[in-house]
Amino acid sequence: MVLDEDKCLVCGSPPHGVHFGVYSCRACAAFFRRTIAIGKPYSCKRGTKSCGVYKGVKNICRFCRYQKCKRIGMVFNEESDLQSPSTSTNNGALQKPSVESPEPVADTMSPITLPEIVISNNKIDYDYQPFVKIVTETLYGNLLNPKPYLDSKISVSPLSRLLAAYRFLDPENFCTVSELEPKEKVDLKILIRELELFLIRAARFAMCNKEFAELLNADKFQVFRHSAMILVYIVRPFWTMQRCGPNVDDRRFVMGESWYVDIDNFDYSTSEWTAKSTNDMNALFKPFSQMIHKNVLTPMRELRVTEKELMFLIAHTLWNVKGVPGLSEQTVQVAERYIDEVTTDLHAYYTFEMRMDSYAVRLTKLVKLLANFQDLRKFQKEATDAAHMFEILKCHLFIPGLFDQ
């Protein structure tokens, strides 16, 4: 899949970074700046006002090029856009932000040491406090700025800003499809550990969101724990589609950073369990994984969901605060305003980037995915409660009050 960040949105050349609020090459950014500075109106070379604007065209029509710059959202700000594109960093990197006390973070996480996971008497028993400490310290810390850097002085659309932060959930060092290892037996200790690492990534992703980072600490934790598990249901199917392709008949499902299962032929297992415990565990939780495949991955493949649409799904999930107890009125208002902004941004994406005259059917299917996520939340809560009640599996990660199911 070709990503928006792989090309200049004006002419299709390799991008240099975000200029005037959109991904563009140096030449198009310089052209836009020069046009604004001169203030001289252009005339269409052919009089059609629909000339081709893409790399390889000689003597691109300046009128049509300028109109396209404006159409995709380039905005000139005298205070922040006087710098020449040539002074920015190379290789598509974005300029370093100057927001208040930002903490830049790398694309990959520093090594994290967590206690060994032990399974005894059907209980996953280990000290989960270090994991909780990392998550809470991240959420209660400063605003994070992802690499490539985003310049806070220019207007970058909400979906583009989320997409830059998304690199924490899907870093470059993840395995390609040819490197993925197939598994028939899924070790629960490995699965739980990868889930913890994903949630740590998700906390860092959330803290790249300025609106989220500015919430009260108590509200941040409440909002995050309410949505964190749903992010797993969203991102892992998308990983699968990216790495294994859009074929709806493909039964592979990427569960970890380096491995996948055949959704019809795998078992949850661990050497510490009896055969009965293993069977009981699979009877409860395998249908849940198959439900994710059917109700999330398959619709994603049918739609061929793009990364911008993925950001829309994530934003709606993170900021869906209905039913979250104890939130301040200010946080509720921020959530409502932010969802309005990303929805408006999605309209612009469909209209100007995807060039869709009508997107009502596509948007309806996308919104239906949001409803499917809530069904999955309910299904997992019921399975987890049953596992605790009948002592099939007890795991601190799913205790009430830690991460809401």
Local confidence pLDDT in tens for the 405 residues of the chain = 334 456 788 888 887 777 777 778 888 888 888 787 676 778 888 888 888 888 777 778 889 999 888 887 787 764 444 443 443 333 333 333 333 445 555 444 555 678 888 887 777 777 788 888 999 999 999 988 775 445 555 567 899 889 888 876 665 456 677 778 999 999 988 888 888 889 999 999 999 999 999 999 999 999 999 999 899 999 999 999 988 999 999 999 999 888 999 999 999 988 878 888 889 889 989 999 999 999 999 999 999 999 999 999 999 999 999 989 899 999 999 999 999 999 999 999 999 988 998 999 999 999 999 999 989 988 888 888 888 787 777 776 665 556 654
Q: Which CATH number goes with the domain that contains 67?
A: 3.30.50.10
203 and 350 belong to one structural domain: yes
Query: In the prediction, which pLDDT does 168 show?
Result: 65
Is 404 contained in some domain?
no
Q: What amino acid is encoded at 341 in this protein?
A: E
37 and 154 belong to one structural domain: no
Query: In the prediction, which pLDDT does 11 show?
Result: 86
- b/e burial code for range 37-73 (CB count within 10 A of at least 16 → b): eeeeeeeeeeeeeebebeeeeeebbbbbbbbbbeebb
Is 382 contained in some domain?
yes
Is 352 contained in some domain?
yes
Predicted structure pTM score: 0.72
156 and 250 belong to one structural domain: yes
52 and 123 belong to one structural domain: no
31 and 123 belong to one structural domain: no
Question: Distance (Å, rounded) from C-alpha 365 to C-alpha 247?
Answer: 18
54 and 184 belong to one structural domain: no
Residue 178 DSSP code:
G
Number of domains composing the chain: 2
62 and 207 belong to one structural domain: no
Is 255 contained in some domain?
yes
Q: Which residues contact 331 (CB under 8 A, 6 or more apart)?
A: 215, 216, 219, 223, 321
Is 92 contained in some domain?
no
54 and 131 belong to one structural domain: no
Query: In the prediction, which pLDDT does 403 show?
Result: 66
> Domain boundary at 34, 49, 72, which?
72
Is 45 contained in some domain?
yes
346 and 225 belong to one structural domain: yes
Q: Which CATH number goes with the domain that contains 250?
A: 1.10.565.10
Kind and range of the H or E run holding 191? helix 188-206
Question: Distance (Å, rounded) from C-alpha 68 to C-alpha 10?
Answer: 6
266 and 327 belong to one structural domain: yes
Is 381 contained in some domain?
yes
63 and 135 belong to one structural domain: no
Distances in whole angstroms, Cα of residue 30 to Cα of each of 16, 19, 69, 71: 11, 9, 11, 17
Is 90 contained in some domain?
no
243 and 303 belong to one structural domain: yes
> Domain boundary at 5, 38, 72, which?
72
> Domain boundary at 40, 72, 104, which?
72
Which residue range is the domain that position 43 belongs to? 17-72
How would you class 291 by CB atoms within 10 Å of its CB: exposed for 0-12, middle for 13-18, buried for 19 or more?
middle
Closest to 333 (Cα-Cα) out of 202, 229, 219, 165: 219
Residue 167 in tokens: 């690199």
